[in-house]
Amino acid sequence: MVQNERKRRLLLMIGPLEAEVIGILNELKEATAMMIWEELTKRGKKTAYTTVLTVLSRLYTRGFINKREKIINNVRQFVYELSIPYDVKSEIIKEHIGLIIKMFGNDAIQIIRDYLNEISTK
C-alpha cells in the first residue's frame, strides 16, 4: 500500500509529455521506444527520439513502467509496459475530477459530461 501511495503522489506531478507516454502505453499495453516516438509523431507531437528515451527512463525510475528485453526482427530491444495498478489509476482520476469540481462546481460537472459525450462519439 505504501508503494501505491507513493505512485499516486508522484502521478500527480506528471508533466504533459510523460502523461502522453503513459497514455500511449495504456492504449498499446506494450511498446518499444520507437513505437512510442512514432505514435507521438502521428499525434502531431514533435519530440526527439532521445527525449522519449529520457521520459521512459524517468518513468521507469519512478516505478510507473516496467521494461524487459525482447528480440524483435533479430534485434534486442527494450519493451515497455505500464505498471500502474487499476486502483491507483482510479484514485488519481477521482482526485483530479474532485479538484476540478471543487474549483468550478456544477459548471465542471456539465463540462465533464459534455466532454465525455463528445469523446464517446469519436
In the prediction, which pLDDT does 3 show? Answer: 64
Residue ranges covered by each domain of the chain? 1-84, 85-122
Instruction: Indicate the residue type of 86.
Output: Y
The domain made up of 1-84 has a fold known as Arc Repressor Mutant, subunit A (1.10.10)
3-state secondary structure of 61: helix
> CA-CA distance, 74 to 5, in Å (whole number)?
40
Alpha-carbon dihedral sign for residues 28, 29, 32, 37: positive
List, in sequence order, every beta strand (DSSP E) within the chain: 65-72, 75-82
pLDDT tens column, 50-109: 999 999 999 998 888 999 998 888 889 999 999 988 888 888 888 889 989 999 999 999
